[in-house]
Amino acid sequence: MIRTLRCRLALAVAAALIIVAVPAASAAGTSSFSFQPFYEYTISFVGHGSYTRTSSDEGPGKLTEEASWKWDSVYPHVLIPTTASSPLQAAGFPAIGLGQSGSGEWKITNTGSEDEDCSNSGTLSLKDSPLGGGGGAVTVHRPAGGFKKGVIFDLVALEGFESTPKGNNVLPCDPSEWWQQTIEGFIGAGSKHASAGLPDVKPLTAKVQLEPSDLKHGSVTKDVSIGPSEDVSGDCGSGDGSVCTDTYTWSGTVKFTKHKFKV
């Protein structure tokens, strides 16, 4: 499947380039084609994150939850045109991910909360994806001012984690899918914003802008971390005698390695 997508992409780019090149060749009175230059980036997005939660009520009830995870997502075919007249300028900058690696662990301990005592722990692994474990995406666009101001990359590290063991959701310690129920559901990372007016994003989303000076280098590495659109308030439901606080954070690096695109 990956090879087929790669071939189709190359053919589509080649066809677009030929359409642009033919008039130029005719005007010059020659039968040779003048292909526009493209660059192909391999992008590696590596990071680690954590979540902690402490909840207590007026009685002896207390729930603690903690988790940590890491990932290494690679996107080897991110196409960047080098001129504003490029036929790829309106083509959505296609990017193909070949798969990622990722892992993590979670633990929940509940004492007396909701009149239940329980504890449980498990692991996190990548969800299945047609292009390999993890999924995720890279999209590219130009900032206001166009090519003179570089390129902006929006990166989503992965589609999400799957958890084991898969509980029955009867007790607080038995989630059927920890990531979906806690990170995407309970705290709503990327949707339940700490500040109003922020756009919705998926968990583990980074935005990186490469300046024109960066684009001249064969390899560039940028530090990234959780952004305002993904930040949560830290109050996970205090009130009526109960106190609930939590923290959610992540950080990482994004490495861009440039290759000359060939069709």
Q: Do residues 65 and 108 touch, judged by C-beta distance below 8 A? A: yes
Residue 58: exposure state from Cβ atoms within 10 A (0-12, 13-18, ≥19): exposed
Tokens of 103: 């892992």
C-alpha distance from residue 161 to each of 50, 101, 158, 246 (Å): 13, 11, 8, 20
Q: Do residues 250 and 202 touch, judged by C-beta distance below 8 A? A: no
Residue 13: the pLDDT is 44
The CA distance from 229 to 194, in Å, is 8
- Strand-pairing partners, residue 100, are 73
Q: What are phi and psi of 17, to 5 degrees?
A: -70, -40
Residue 149: the pLDDT is 78
pLDDT mean by block of 10 residues, the chain; 263 residues: 43 40 38 54 94 88 95 86 55 57 95 81 87 77 73 89 93 93 95 91 94 90 97 90 94 92 61
Tell me how many helices (H) and strands (E) the chain has: 3, 11
Residue 141: the pLDDT is 79
Residue 24: the pLDDT is 37
Three-state secondary structure call for residue 213: helix
Residue 229: the pLDDT is 95
Q: Three-state SS string across 78-142, please?
A: EEEECCCCCHHHHCCCCEECCEEEEEEEEEEEEECHHHCEEEEEEEEEECCCCCCCCCCEEEEEC
The CA distance from 91 to 17, in Å, is 12
Three-state secondary structure call for residue 25: helix
